[in-house]
Amino acid sequence: MTTAYLEDFESFTRTGGGRAGWLEELRQAGLERFRKGGFPSGKEEDWRFNNLAGITGTDFRLAGADVSGVRPEDLRPYLFAIPGVSTLVFVNGRYAPALSTPAATPSGVTVRNLAGAFAAHGDLISRHLGQYARLEESGFTALNTAFVKDGLFVHVPPAADTGPLVHAVYVTDGRADGAATHPRNLILVERGGRAAVIESYIGLATGAYLTNCITEAVVGQGAFLEHTKIQRESEQAFHVGTTHLSQGQDSRSLSFSISFGGAIGRNNLDMVLDGPGIESHMFGMYMGRGRQELDNHTSILHAHPNCSTREIYKGILDDRSHGIFNGKIYVTPEAQKTDAKQTNRALLLSDTARIDTKPQLEIFADDVKCTHGATVGSLDPVAAFYLKSRGIGRARARKILTYAFAAEVLEEIPHESVRQQLEAVVMSRLESLAEG
Amino acid sequence: MLEIINLHAKAGDKQILNGINLTVHAGEVHAVMGPNGSGKSTLAQVLAGHPAYQVTEGQVTYMGQDLLELEPEERARAGVFLAFQYPVEIPGVSNAYFLRAALNEIRKSRGEEEIDPIDFMELVEQKLALVQWGPEIFSRAVNAGFSGGEKKRNEILQMAVLEPRLAILDETDSGLDIDALRIVADGVNQLRRPDKATIVVTHYQRLLNYIIPDRVHVLANGRIVKSGGKDLALELEARGYEWLAEPAVTA
């Protein structure tokens, strides 16, 4: 089922692809890879828990360039009131300047849309784009690369004093029902710099559409990146996204991945610790209901000594929803004194919800501390009793404890306005929980 | 106020209470003492409706109602309060939210209106003085990251705000240093009223130096083997529990 994508590629390159040279080659290579390999199948280890029929059985045509269907008030519930934040809005995959409110950035720092950045930053982009998201990693990556056009571009030069705070909002509206978008983001934080980037994926459409997004982020020596991905697609939509985080020596990162939407919502987090002395914290939270399938695949490569990673993912699954957590930690023989801790917890609110969880630790160094823990359960009856013993009824106690389960991750988010929005989403989801 | 007749209870297959008889009148403080495993904590938790225990025989009447028929939340709304030995941590849920939710549930059950948020804050601020805490406790999550002593103080704060008729303190003194013990005891003493009753479950006599009981009961093997006045606690302190436990086994 790839013909439609091949046709769209032809018209894409003919009419709107633009840019000759390296970018054209990159796209062509993506297309070739997709033509040969197509979408992943359930036979592949990385996709064996997924049911991709909803994606592979539909021709999602490339979304049109019309960004006029979204009004500022449509976006208001999704925006953040953080001082100094640059908000860049993308509608159906294209930058929508009329909806965006870029803030002044520190000198030398660039925050803009990728399509608009090629002219001034072509060399820099060409050195990084596609270097981390390798075509062979999956058909989705190949397809995204074939259709690279727009997304977020952030560049923080070496030793910049202050870093930007960016909120990129990717909206799919009713005009893109049945369509595909392929947002592509590039975040480069050079030596000693810092940046905070929040990506929100929003569905204003109610039907099925495909968001196939990729973020490549490079964190230079001693630099710091805070990266948050919020997935609030339509519950009929398909979202497949990969975040690549490549970290240099002594750098730090703090990442969040929060998912509420999607008939299928798949997040890949691919972290490469490309130097010694790195510290990374990764948090994930997802809430599924109906027949949603919410999947988090994380992969951490410890390739140098003295790096520490902390990973906590928590899922709340109701109705017939299906959660997947696959956490890979690979420690090379050089990566002595690695300190890696992975925790994955799932809360099943119904008898028909389920979770597939697979920790995957491959350790080839001998002086390391690597632990993983996975728990799957329902609400703790002793905790529920505690609330009841204070007069709080069963249904309310269930909501409070479920909220508390999610809050443990949300509390770590450093921006109050982000935290509040997400807590409100969790609360409203809990209100719809079956009573009793 | 409370009448327990021939109460038997088990956890799983393990029989723990083997026929408790106890009557508590309004205005009284009863101490329930006993060695580890005697069933004193089980008694406290059964009265509050802990789901891990099953009542196999006997009756409990509270304020004229069959207590065992009631769900734990209904017991709480009827004025029963258990101060937990191991209070539960609830991350992400502030003490203020939790306490207000609990208080409003109790008020609703009495046909009263929900408390106005400002009135609520004023009420809690008065109660905070009882446990010598400042208002910063409001915004902290319930028991999350609290020390053992802080958790016990929080139980007393909750008790002070919810104003139960029957308060049951389950080893509230365990793990407390002497200062925390005084704070907890002062909190309990200030809540003593002619229309309220308290059951203090404890292993040690120490707490009873501060909370003077009207009656002291000794549990062994799931039965009350001796009852007496406040001097019984001192006798237990001096002689231990062994002299009482033996006859119970053969009885």
The answer to whether the CB atoms of B162 and A394 lie below 8 A apart is no
Distance, in Å, from the CA atom of B93 to the CA atom of B86, rounded to the nearest integer, reads 18
Q: What is the pLDDT of residue B245?
A: 59
For chain A, what is the HEC assignment? CCHHHHHHHHHHHHHHCCCCCHHHHHHHHHHHHHHHHCCCCCCCHHHCCCCCHHHHCCCCEECCCCCCCCCHHHHHHHCCCCCCEEEEEEECCEECHHHCECCCCCCCCEEEEHHHHHHHHHHHHHHHCCCCCCHHHCHHHHHHHHCCCCCEEEEECCCCCCCCEEEEEEEECHHHCCEEECCEEEEEECCCCEEEEEEEEEECCCCCCEEEEEEEEEECCCCEEEEEEEEECCCCCEEEEEEEEEECCCCEEEEEEEECCCCEEEEEEEEEECCCCCEEEEEEEEEECCCCEEEEEEEEEECCCCCEEEEEEEEEECCCCEEEEEEEEEECCCCCCCEEEEEEEEEECCCCCEEEEEEEEEECCCCCEEEEEEEEECCCHHHHHHHHCCCCCHHHHHHHHHHHHHHHHHCCCCCHHHHHHHHHHHHHHHHCCCCC
Q: Is the dihedral of CA A146, A147, A150, A152 positive or negative?
A: negative
Which has the closest alpha carbon to A215: A237, A200, A204, A205? A200
Is B49 in contact with A407 (Cβ distance < 8 A)? no
B73–A389 CB contact, under 8 Å: yes
Query: CB distance A385–B76 less than 8 Å?
Result: no
Counting the structural domains of chain A, the total is 2
Residue A19 has pLDDT above 90, yes or no: no
Residues of A in contact with B87 (CB under 8 A): 386
Pairing of β B197-202 and β A94-95:
unpaired
Q: Is-contact A388 A397, C-beta < 8 A?
A: yes
Q: Which residues of B173-187 are buried (b: 16+ CB within 10 A; e: fewer)?
A: beebeeebbebbbbb
Q: pLDDT of B194-204, one tens digit each?
A: 999 999 999 88
The last residue of a domain, from among A247, A274, A301: A274
Each residue of A61-109: pLDDT tens digit?
A: 888 878 888 999 999 999 999 999 999 999 999 999 999 999 998 889 9
Residue A391 and residue B48: Cβ atoms within 8 Å? no
pLDDT of B183 higher than 60 = yes
Does position A16 have pLDDT exceeding 80, yes or no? no
- Residue A310 corresponds to which amino acid? R
> Which residues of chain B have a CB within 8 Å of the CB of A400?
90, 93, 98, 101
> How far is B157 from B163, CA to CA, in rounded Å?
10
- Confidence at residue A160, expressed as pLDDT on a 0 to 100 scale: 80
How close is the nearest chain B Cα to the Cα of A406, in Å? 8
Which candidate from B87, B90, B102 shows the least CB-CB separation from A391? B102
Q: Does A401 touch chain B (CB under 8 A)?
A: yes
DSSP class of B126:
H
Considering only the beta carbons, identify the residue of B48, B75, B92 that sits closest to A403.
Answer: B92
Task: Examine the pLDDT at A20 and tell me if it is beyond 70.
Answer: no
Mean pLDDT over B78-103 rounds to: 93
- % of residues, chain A, pLDDT over 90: 82
Report the distance separating Cα A258 and Cα A267, nearest Å: 10
CA distance A350 to A344: 19
A425 and chain B: CB distance < 8 Å anywhere? no
Q: Which pTM value belongs to this model?
A: 0.88
- Phi/psi zone of residue B116: left (φ > 0), alpha (ψ -120 to 50 degrees), beta? beta
The range of the structural domain enclosing residue A146 comes to 3-274
Q: Is A107 on the interface with B (CB under 8 A)?
A: no
> How far lies A374's CA from each of A240, A341, A347, B223, in Å?
24, 11, 11, 42
Rounded Cα distance, A335 and A329, in Å: 12
In this structure, which amino acid lies at residue A109? V
Tally Cβ neighbours within 10 Å of residue B137: 19
Q: Which residue of A has its CA nearest to B89?
A: A383
| Residue-level pLDDT at A436 | 40
- A270 and A409 in a common domain: no
CB contact under 8 A, B92 and A391: no
* Residue A187 within a domain: yes
Chain A residue numbers touching B170 (CB-CB < 8 A)? none
- Average the pLDDT over B125-151 and give the result: 89
Give A126-141 pLDDT, tens digit per residue. Answer: 999 999 999 999 999 9
Task: Please report, for chain B, how many H helices and E strands are present, in that order.
Answer: 8, 12
Domain segments of chain B as ranges: 2-250
B230 vs A31: CA distance, rounded Å? 87
Provide mean pLDDT across the span A360-377. Answer: 93
Residue where one domain finishes, among candidates A254, A274, A294: A274
> Does the residue A67 lie in any domain?
yes
Sign of the CA dihedral A2, A7, A10, A16?
Answer: negative
Measuring CA to CA, how many Å separate B250 from each of A349, B219, B246, B247?
48, 15, 7, 5
Q: Is the pLDDT of residue B17 over 50?
A: yes
Domain boundary, last residue among A239, A274, A309: A274
**In a domain? residue A421:** yes
CB contact under 8 A, A389 and B48: yes
Question: Does residue B75 sit at the A interface (CB-CB below 8 Å)?
Answer: yes
Evaluate if residue A220 carries a pLDDT over 70.
Answer: yes
Q: Is the pLDDT score of B115 beyond 70?
A: yes
List the one residue out of A383, A344, A419, A345 whose CA is nearest residue B143.
Answer: A383
The answer to whether ipTM exceeds 0.90 is yes
Q: Give the one of A388, A400, A408 whose C-beta lies nearest to B73's C-beta.
A: A388
Claim to verify: residue A242 and residue A113 sit in the same structural domain: yes
Disruptive mutation site among A343, A387, A412 for chain B (greatest number of B CBs within 10 Å): A387
- Within an 8 Å CB–CB cutoff, is residue B146 touching chain A? no
Q: Which residue of A has its CA nearest to B109?
A: A391
* CATH node for B2-250: 3.40.50.300
Using a CB–CB cutoff of 8 Å, tell me whether A408 touches chain B: yes
Tell which wins on pLDDT, A185 or B251.
Answer: A185
Q: Which residues, listed in sequence order, are joined to residue A257 by a DSSP beta bridge?
A: A229, A284
Q: Is the pLDDT of residue B135 over 60?
A: yes
Q: Quick check: B158 and A390 CB within 8 A?
A: yes
Do A124 and A256 belong to one domain? yes
Return the pLDDT at B184: 83
Check: CB of residue B70 under 8 Å from CB of residue B49. Answer: yes
| Residue A183 is assigned to a structural domain of this protein | yes
- The answer to whether B93 and A404 are in contact (CB under 8 A) is yes
Task: Supply A62's token pair.
Answer: 């490339």
Rounded distance between C-alpha atoms, residue A227 and residue A223, angstroms: 13
Q: Are A291 and A263 in contact (CB under 8 A)?
A: yes
The continuous run of DSSP H or E covering B199 comes out as strand B197-202
What string of H, E and C letters represents the secondary structure of B56-77?
Answer: EEEEEEECCEEHHHCCHHHHHH
pLDDT in tens, A270-325: 999 999 999 999 999 999 999 999 999 999 999 999 999 999 999 999 999 999 99
Asked if the C-beta of A4 comes within 8 angstroms of chain B's C-beta atoms, the answer is no
Across the interface, whether the CB atoms of A400 and B75 are under 8 A apart is answered: no
- Dist. CA A420–CA B136, nearest whole Å: 20
Residue A411, number of CB atoms within 10 A of its CB: 15
CB atoms within 10 A of CB A57: 8
For residues A188 and A153, give the distance between their C-alpha atoms in angstroms, rounded to a whole number.
8
Does A393 contact B at CB distance below 8 Å? yes
Inter-chain CB proximity B98 and A410 less than 8 Å: no
| pLDDT, mean over chain A | 93
* CA-derived radius of gyration, chain A: 21
**Do A264 and A396 reside in the same domain of the chain?**
no
**Interchain CB contact of A436 with B (< 8 Å):** no
**What is the C-alpha separation between A348 and A376, in angstroms, rounded?**
7
